[in-house]
Structure 1
Amino acid sequence: MHGDSETGEEKRGAERTTGDERSGMINYYRTDEGVIQKLKDYDEGAWVQLTNPSPEECVEIADRFQMDVADVRAALDDEESSRISLEEGYTLILVDIPTAEIRNNRNSYQTIPLGILLREDVVITVCTEETAVLQTFVDQSMKEFSTKKRMRFVYQILYNSNIVYQSLLRTIDRKRKEIEERINGSTGDSDLFDLHELESNLVYFATSLRANSMVLDRLTRYGRLQQFPEDRDLLEDVIIENRQAIEMTGIYRDIINGTRELLSTVINNRLNDVMKILTSVTLILAIPTIVSGVYGMNVDDQWMPLAHVPHGFGIIILITLVISVLIAWLLHRKKML
């Protein structure tokens, strides 16, 4: 399930960047004898799934189930924060779920709102795009899933959201390891940008997970939501998985921060090594440059050493070469060359 969710999220992220806007749609699902079926219209015990609905579709659902249209459209606003709201006749649960996208020509992850509208006779989910969090239920990958057990269904959605978070967190850590493995080889500024992008993803995850934890905490205290003992056990599992995702996010942020500092240090050290070698080479080449400059002055040759000695040119070249080799040997001993 983890691998499927990761691939699906990345594919959906690529689709969004190509500008292929998916039209809004309403789907109706219901489980009968443990098998989920797609319905043509709403029936008792069904799950209503709104994916990027149009304003008209939001009004239709709001009127049909006697809800405030603003609550139906709440999840369509990317700036909406996670919250739970008890309204007359229904409950709005708004959480952030992870999704993939292409940002700065890189595979990245962010969070988007998922709205869950809960009534005694229906569960309505609203999201701006198809997501692995809900697709798991459509594909019948979730065990003991029933649209008629509404509170348990809600907790299973929240549980699956945390599982997808953890899956993408492991993907982020694998990408960090790939960059870390290249440190001894060819690394450059692009690796620093990649690490910064990964750290930005973790910032989004950390913020959303903390906000979701507040919603989960309130769910444990609201007596209006009818829950069975097994539902409360599932809620405890959701809280545990949420805490684990928060801890994983914090750990991976610290590791990425350390990897980025290591990469920056390695790049600086390599630059220092190059500058040191160039300085040493410049110093070695300065010797023949000085000698040739002195002997190239326009003065009387009677004052120039070795000017009238047989093989004087060769002697001067030999002396220059010996001095250059001696300087190179000293620099090598000092580990500067």
Structure 2
Amino acid sequence: MALQKTLIEFDIALNQNQPVLEKISSGNHYFSTTELNELSDQTLIENDQAMTMTNNQSQILDQYSNMVSAVVSNNLNDVMKILTSITLILTIPTIIGGIYGMNVNLPGAQLASAFSWIMIATIVICLITLHTLRRHHYM
């Protein structure tokens, strides 16, 4: 950000100097010798080169900033994909617990080992979901 700010200020300064240098270079009455005229022409050329370099550096900096932004966005997408997958897996026990927590007759609710079977089925479903997500490269 600091480099970008500096380049913008440098570009503004060069653009403001350009008309003055052109006026000095075009008027032969400012300088009486050819050496001073050549020096003013060289100064104008150097100012043009500095403006070109500033524009090039600004474009490179913009491209670098876009690249860094794309990398950060890609990393954020990867993290969000993993967190969404974890949320999906953790939702399964919540749904099953909510269904079997209701006061209605459900299959297997009369068995003494119903809780163990429900827990085993929940774990199996979660593992199948985890395997499916890993196979599709979501985790």
Unmatched segments (≥5 aa) in structure 1:
1-193
**Greater C-alpha radius of gyration:** 2
Which residue pairs with 2:128 in the alignment? 326
Count of residues in correspondence between the two structures: 139
Instruction: Supply the distance in 2 between the matched residues of 1:200 and 1:307 (Cα, whole angstroms).
Output: 73
| 1:308 equivalenced with 2:111 (yes/no) | yes
Instruction: Supply the distance in 2 between the matched residues of 1:202 and 1:285 (Cα, whole angstroms).
Output: 50
Native 8 Å contact 1:284 1:328 kept in 2: yes
Native 8 Å contact 1:199 1:256 kept in 2: yes
Q: Pairwise mapping of residues 3-42 of structure 1 onto structure 2 (< 5 A)?
A: none
Cα distance per residue 1:169-200 (max 9 Å; x no partner): xxxxxxxxxxxxxxxxxxxxxxxxx2xx5334
Native 8 Å contact 1:284 1:324 kept in 2: yes
Native 8 Å contact 1:295 1:304 kept in 2: no
Given candidates 83, 95, 106, the residue that maps to 1:290 is: 95
Q: Judging by fraction of residues, say which structure has more strand.
A: 1
Q: Pairwise mapping of residues 1-337 of structure 1 onto structure 2 (< 5 A)?
A: 194=1, 197-300=2-105, 303-305=106-108, 307-308=110-111, 311-337=113-139
| Farther off after superposition, 241-250 or 217-226 | 217-226
Instruction: Supply the distance in 1 between the matched residues of 2:31 and 2:117 (Cα, whole angstroms).
Output: 103
If the length of structure 1 is used for normalisation, what is the TM-score? 0.37
Q: Sort the Cα spacing of 1:227 and 1:336 in 2 relative to 1 into closer, same or farther, 3 A.
A: farther
DSSP-derived class of the 2:62 partner: helix
Instruction: Supply the distance in 2 between the matched residues of 1:282 and 1:226 (Cα, whole angstroms).
Output: 78
Q: What's the C-alpha RMSD, in Å, of the aligned pairs? A: 2.2
DSSP-derived class of the 2:27 partner: coil
* Per-residue deviation, 1:328: 1.1
Between the aligned residues of both structures, percent identity stands at 37
Instruction: Supply the distance in 2 between the matched residues of 1:220 and 1:256 (Cα, whole angstroms).
Output: 32
Matched to 1:331, the amino acid is: L
DSSP-derived class of the 1:220 partner: helix
Instruction: Supply the distance in 2 between the matched residues of 1:251 and 1:275 (Cα, whole angstroms).
Output: 36
Matched to 1:326, the amino acid is: I
* Per-residue deviation, 1:306: 5.9
Q: Which has the higher contact order (CA 8 A, sep 6+)?
A: 2
If the length of structure 2 is used for normalisation, what is the TM-score? 0.82
* Per-residue deviation, 1:265: 2.3
Q: Judging by fraction of residues, say which structure has more helix.
A: 2
Unmatched segments (≥5 aa) in structure 2:
none
Instruction: Supply the distance in 1 between the matched residues of 2:26 and 2:41 (Cα, whole angstroms).
Output: 12
Q: Sort the Cα spacing of 1:218 and 1:324 in 2 relative to 1 into closer, same or farther, 3 A.
A: same
Cα distance per residue 1:96-137 (max 9 Å; x no partner): xxxxxxxxxxxxxxxxxxxxxxxxxxxxxxxxxxxxxxxxxx
